Amino acid sequence: MRLASLGDRIDDFLAFDGRLSRLAFWRCWLSVQVFGVLGWTLSIVATIEGGALGALFLVPTIMLYAIALASCLVRRLHDRGRSGWQLIPIVGGPLAARVAAEPLLHSATPILACIGAGLAFATVVANLWAMSEIGIQDGAPQPS
């Protein structure tokens, strides 16, 4: 058994083709989250030490984090027998609802505040559904 080179391991996190089983998805997701926390921490330290120049470290960190996370999610959707393009409404829908809910939650008008609360609750429900759909449900049978 040969150990994969660092380049091969990095490519695993940036590829959008193929499938990820449920266990492989959770391993990938956890690795990406650890990378995100470490990258964010290093970016904060670089910003404190280097000022605005140090903040430039944050941009590639966020981009790599977003690409790696999208890669994990798309490959898991492939394993579920779904198109990777379905990631757009799965992520974009709750995000748009949350952005729309934020100003409404702070409205002085009670009906608008209730609508904002309803939208915020809808984002929780949508995120729970997405977690179930992507991370908990079995994968589709692989075509022979």
Separation between Cα atoms, residue 5 and residue 67, nearest integer Å? 20
In the chain, where the domains are located: 1-79, 83-144
Question: How many other C-beta atoms are found inside a 10 Å radius of the C-beta of residue 127?
Answer: 16
Position 62: which residue type? I
pTM over 0.75: yes
Show pLDDT as tens, one digit a residue, over the chain (144 residues).
455 555 556 667 788 888 999 999 999 999 999 999 998 898 888 888 888 877 788 888 889 999 999 999 999 999 998 998 999 999 899 999 999 999 998 888 899 999 999 999 999 999 999 999 899 988 888 775
Q: What's the token pair of residue 2?
A: 């040969």
The tokens 């990777």 sit on which residue?
A: 84
Burial 67-105 (b: 16+ CB within 10 A, else e): ebbbbbbbbbbbbbebebebbeebbeebeebbeebeebe
